[in-house]
Amino acid sequence: MKISVIGCGYLGAVHAAAMAELGHEVVGIDVDSNKVAALAAGRAPFFEPGLPELLLAGVESGRLSFTTDMSAVKGAKVHFIAVGTPQRKGEHAADLTYVDAAVDSLIPYLSAGDLVAGKSTVPVGTAARLASKVADAGSGAMLAWNPEFLREGFAVLDTISPDRLVYGLPSGEQHALAKDHLDEVYATALSKDTPLVVTDYATAELVKVSANAFLATKISFINAMAEIAEVTGADVTQLADAIGYDARIGRRFLNAGVGFGGGCLPKDIRAFTARAEELGRGESVAFLKEVDAINLRRRQKVVDSVVAALDGDVFNKRVAVLGLAFKPDSDDIRDSPALDVAAQLKGLGADVIATDPEAIDNARRTHPQLAYTTDLEEAFTGAAAVVVVTEWKLYRAFSPARALQLASGSVIIDGRNCLDATAWRAAGWTYQGLGRP
Ligand code: UGA
């Protein structure tokens, strides 16, 4: 099938490459000519495991192309909208400028029977509004909402083998044709019995935001338990293991630490709250404000722990910050707790040296005031205190004995509870996790 993908960020670029891998003929459209040039040459403009190989294979096969020219969508039967919906400046609501611009610029090229399939995370009600826009233009095209659940770091796997598919379809006579189009797109996944939920626009939109709200709530729940553990001497990691054995609860997303960040969870819970308030149901999701507050408190907790470990004053003291990305296997620094901690410590006058295997270039652009090194040994060298804020594998693998030789102090704050506390203590470190004695 010929497919177009509008917006080639984390979501769109992966979707385009994965669809080509599945045998479709795909054109990706983006307004950023640098991004398009990289993608067209088979290069990923961001770090995502497995994506470079997929891009190269797609481009070389001739099935995958990228351009800034919207007219290239002509002839495609399904047009995916994969542009960003960031938080509006100074507000909690989502900024739909890019979604509207994408649909507006797509409309002149649509033909009867084409399907516009929204993938971006949008406030409930958006799909119905966009469907009217598409219908009013009179081309005979239709609209569906087909939310995406990929995780950065596993984006290729999640797109090729999703754990479920959700179609929010138009009612009436367009329903069957819209479903046929999406079934053709996802034929490979459907042939492997991937669960499929066929529903209406509002449900499809809400599935996405409620999934992210649930995940954020799960993380903040365990971080709230960490706060209680901290005043009682309990160990939140053991607590998570113990409650996680209950299959109804499950152990995943119960890792207490510096909290969630990224381009999705934080802004999605805020946008959901804003949308619920518009709908007169603010109280239904008012708890998400608490989820957000707990999450942000953990960043402060990590900063306070570093300050306390350095006798209440970090001024001019060398602090090594291990990690900048919002999670490992990503170079994404959007709303990153790690970068926030580094910036806060720098703001307090600490001599911060930050390291990350992938995210330094991005961090340097937004936080030029920080000092960076890609060399982990250099980061440890002369550090009065060390703080781990992204759980990259190489930090777990680093020798605590070697780290102690390099550092000037012996305090390590494990903001992700990812290190082997026993090994670090045995090597002579004062190890401090979050929510752990
Ligand atoms: C999230 C969702 O997990 C995806 O299902 C969704 O498709 C995506 O948002 C999206 O809306 O596009 P992602 O932002 O890639 O995916 O990251 P997650 O793996 O959800 O992690 C989010 C944050 O939570 C990270 O900062 C991570 O370190 C933190 N986290 C995760 C914890 O602090 N504890 C945990 O137990 C798990």
Which residue's CA lies nearest to atom 28 of ligand 1? Answer: 327
Can you read off the two tokens belonging to residue 100?
């509207």
Based on the fold, state whether residues 137 and 248 are members of the same structural domain. Answer: no
DSSP letters of 59-103?
HHHTSEEEES-GGGGTT-SEEEE----PBPTTSSSB--HHHHHHH
Question: What is the C-alpha separation between 158 and 141, in angstroms, rounded?
Answer: 28
276-311 pLDDT per residue, tens: 999 999 999 999 999 999 999 999 999 999 999 999
Q: What is the pLDDT of residue 347?
A: 98
Q: What is the pLDDT of residue 375?
A: 98
Nearest of 300, 285, 286, 354 to residue 325 by alpha carbon: 354
Domain harbouring 10, CATH code: 3.40.50.720
Confidence band of 337 (pLDDT split at 50, 70, 90)? very high
Residue 341 inside a domain? The answer is: yes
Based on the fold, state whether residues 190 and 261 are members of the same structural domain. Answer: no
Q: Give the three-state DSSP class for 52.
A: helix
Atom of ligand 1 nearest to the CA of 253: 36
List, in sequence order, the alpha helices (H) in 41-121: 51-61, 97-106
Residue 206 inside a domain? The answer is: no
Question: What is the C-alpha separation between 104 and 123, in angstroms, rounded?
Answer: 18
Q: Are 116 and 88 in contact (CB under 8 A)?
A: no
Enter the DSSP assignment of 257: S
Q: What is the pLDDT of residue 153?
A: 93
In angstroms and rounded to an integer, the radius of gyration of the C-alpha atoms of the chain is 23
88-102 pLDDT per residue, tens: 999 999 999 999 999
Identified catalytic residue from 5, 206, 264, 324: 264
Ligand 1 close to Cβ of residue 390 (< 6 A): no
Based on the fold, state whether residues 299 and 347 are members of the same structural domain. Answer: yes
Q: Give the three-state DSSP class for 77.
A: coil
pLDDT averaged over every residue in the chain: 97
Residue 142's beta-bridge partner residues? 115
Based on the fold, state whether residues 257 and 183 are members of the same structural domain. Answer: no
Nearest of 57, 61, 30 to residue 43 by alpha carbon: 57
Cα distances (Å, whole numbers) of residue 404 to 275, 410, 426, 437: 50, 7, 11, 22
Nearest of 249, 163, 264, 167 to residue 207 by alpha carbon: 167
CA 224 distance to own-chain centroid? 22
Q: Pairing relation of β-strands 430-432 and 351-355?
A: unpaired
Residue 89 backbone zone (phi > 0: left; psi -120 to 50: alpha; other: beta): beta
Atom of ligand 1 nearest to the CA of 390: 28
Q: Give the three-state DSSP class for 249.
A: coil
Test site for ligand 1: of 83, 122, 150, most ligand atoms within 8 A of the Cβ:
150
Based on the fold, state whether residues 146 and 248 are members of the same structural domain. Answer: no
| Domain-terminating residue out of 168, 199, 230 | 199
Most distant CA pair in the chain, distance: 72
Based on the fold, state whether residues 94 and 228 are members of the same structural domain. Answer: no
Residue 205 inside a domain? The answer is: no
| Block residue for tokens 């990259």 | 392
Question: Count of domains in the chain?
Answer: 2
Question: What is the C-alpha separation between 391 and 302, in angstroms, rounded?
Answer: 14
Can you read off the two tokens belonging to residue 7?
């917006």
Can you read off the two tokens belonging to residue 218?
């799960």
Residue 42 inside a domain? The answer is: yes
| Domain-terminating residue out of 199, 227, 256 | 199
List, in sequence order, the alpha helices (H) in 279-415: 287-309, 337-347, 360-366, 376-380, 393-397, 400-406
Residue 139 inside a domain? The answer is: yes
Q: Residue range 204-228: average pLDDT?
A: 98
143-192 pLDDT per residue, tens: 999 999 999 999 999 999 999 999 999 999 999 999 999 999 999 999 99
Contacts of 422 by beta carbon, 8 Å cutoff, 6+ apart = none
Long-range contacts of 38-44, Cβ-Cβ distance < 8 Å, separation of 24 or more: 39/8, 39/13, 39/66, 40/65, 40/66, 40/67, 44/13
Residue 176: is it exposed, middle or buried by C-beta count within 10 angstroms (0-12/13-18/19+)? exposed
CA–centroid distance, residue 359 to ligand 1 (Å): 17
| Domain-terminating residue out of 131, 166, 199 | 199
Q: Are 370 and 352 in contact (CB under 8 A)?
A: yes
Q: What is the pLDDT of residue 98?
A: 98
Based on the fold, state whether residues 155 and 249 are members of the same structural domain. Answer: no
Question: Is residue 264 annotated as a catalytic residue, yes or no?
Answer: yes
Residue 111 inside a domain? The answer is: yes
CA–centroid distance, residue 153 to ligand 1 (Å): 10
Can you read off the two tokens belonging to residue 81?
């909208």
Q: Residue range 52-78: average pLDDT?
A: 97
101-138 pLDDT per residue, tens: 999 999 999 999 999 999 999 999 999 999 999 999 99
Test site for ligand 1: of 47, 120, 219, most ligand atoms within 8 A of the Cβ:
219
Ligand 1 close to Cβ of residue 181 (< 6 A): no
The helix (H) or strand (E) run that includes residue 151 is none
Q: What is the pLDDT of residue 340?
A: 98
Residue 359 inside a domain? The answer is: yes
Q: What is the pLDDT of residue 121?
A: 97
Q: Residue range 362-383: average pLDDT?
A: 98
Nearest of 133, 157, 146, 120 to residue 263 by alpha carbon: 120
Q: Give the three-state DSSP class for 117.
A: strand
The model carries a pTM of: 0.97
Based on the fold, state whether residues 354 and 409 are members of the same structural domain. Answer: yes
Q: Are 259 and 215 in contact (CB under 8 A)?
A: no
Residue type for 184, please? Answer: E
Ligand 1 close to Cβ of residue 162 (< 6 A): no
Confidence band of 372 (pLDDT split at 50, 70, 90)? very high
Based on the fold, state whether residues 277 and 161 are members of the same structural domain. Answer: no
Test site for ligand 1: of 260, 298, 418, most ligand atoms within 8 A of the Cβ:
260
Percent of the chain at pLDDT > 90 equals 100
Percent of the chain at pLDDT > 70 equals 100
Residue 407 inside a domain? The answer is: yes
Question: What is the C-alpha separation between 339 and 358, in angstroms, rounded?
Answer: 13
Domain hosting 29: range is 2-199
Q: Are 241 and 254 in contact (CB under 8 A)?
A: no
Ligand 1 close to Cβ of residue 260 (< 6 A): yes
Can you read off the two tokens belonging to residue 42?
């088979």
Based on the fold, state whether residues 195 and 218 are members of the same structural domain. Answer: no
The helix (H) or strand (E) run that includes residue 229 is helix 201-232
Based on the fold, state whether residues 194 and 271 are members of the same structural domain. Answer: no
Based on the fold, state whether residues 178 and 226 are members of the same structural domain. Answer: no
Residue 355's beta-bridge partner residues? 322, 373
Atom of ligand 1 nearest to the CA of 152: 15
